[in-house]
Amino acid sequence: MFEFDSMKLKYTLLLIASSSFLTWVFTSSFTEAPEVQPKTDYNVYALETPQYLDFAGEAMPLDQQDIRERIDRELLVNTYWQSNGLLMIKRAHKYFPIIEAILKENGIPNDFKYLALIESGLTNVTSRAGASGFWQILKNTGKELGLEVNENVDERYHLEKATTAACTYLKQSYEKFGSWTLAAAAYNAGNGRIQKRMEEQQTTNYYDLLLNQETGRYVFRIAAVKHILCHAYNYGFNYQDKHLYEMKETYNMLVDTAITDFVGFAKRYNLSYKEFKIYNPWLREKHLNNKSRKEYIIKIPKN
């Protein structure tokens, strides 16, 4: 009798415990979660519009309301796209010295290095329209500017030669319009299109032109990126020199014959094929045809 009552008590306690657990599960599933307090360690701030901005020494008319709003947009977009901003800073440290020297040699204002930065992020990308390289040059335009462009060799990916070609185009635009701001806009839209819009709207001032959205934002984006990179810490970008990318030192090798296999060629210099192509991205295939015995300069990293 005692054994039976003890067993009955165990079953009773088990049923009570199970019922309590199920009640807790049911009520916790449908009870509103406690209010989460907002974090206070991250803030987004409006930006003060600079009192003065210029592109290539040509002042932006910041006294005009629409101009202030348009530059504010680009400052906000490029300030709060933090990951992209840091990548631009890091790559600029690596590639700007090369670009700056070529711009100076060709009499192009130093600010145009930021044009290359916004065009490609200083990477060898190809657009949907087929524009390629740091300077985003179209195939036919590249050929007109003296670049070799084919499946075997594409000098739009050759930083030095593509920069020189871009300088040629920019000088032509400046001679046509007499304004570096318009030359920058024409780099995006083409000389003919800018000339047509100027004639239609009877103005020679970029800031007075009504253009498509891409070209209308173009110079503003360049000016904004320039200002942010020149005052990076003021815009919240924190980094040390050790975080910046470096250009590895190379030496030049003159080649005036065909090369049948770049994989084997690279191994002769203790390089992988990938490393070889990093320094020579303009060589598009695994071999160099060179039937005309043209002279090419191939870069080999030291050590």
Q: What count of other Cβ atoms lies within 10 Å of the Cβ of residue 229?
A: 19
Q: Report residue 161's pLDDT band, with 50, 70 and 90 as the boundaries.
A: very high
Q: Is residue 26 pLDDT above 70, yes or no?
A: no
Q: Is residue 269 pLDDT above 60, yes or no?
A: yes
The CATH number for 54-243, chosen from 3.40.50.880, 3.40.50.300, 1.10.530.10, 1.10.579.10, is 1.10.530.10
pLDDT (0 to 100) of residue 303:
78
Listed in sequence order, the DSSP H helices in the chain are 2-30, 65-80, 82-105, 113-120, 139-144, 159-177, 180-189, 191-201, 213-230, 262-267, 273-279
User: What average pLDDT score do residues 90-101 get?
Assistant: 98
- Tens of pLDDT along 42-82? 789 999 999 999 999 999 999 999 999 999 999 999 999 99
Please give the Cα distance from 240 to 78 (Å, whole number): 20
Question: Average model confidence (pLDDT) for the chain?
Answer: 91
User: What average pLDDT score do residues 237-262 get?
Assistant: 97
User: What average pLDDT score do residues 198-206 get?
Assistant: 98
Rounded to two decimals, the pTM is: 0.86
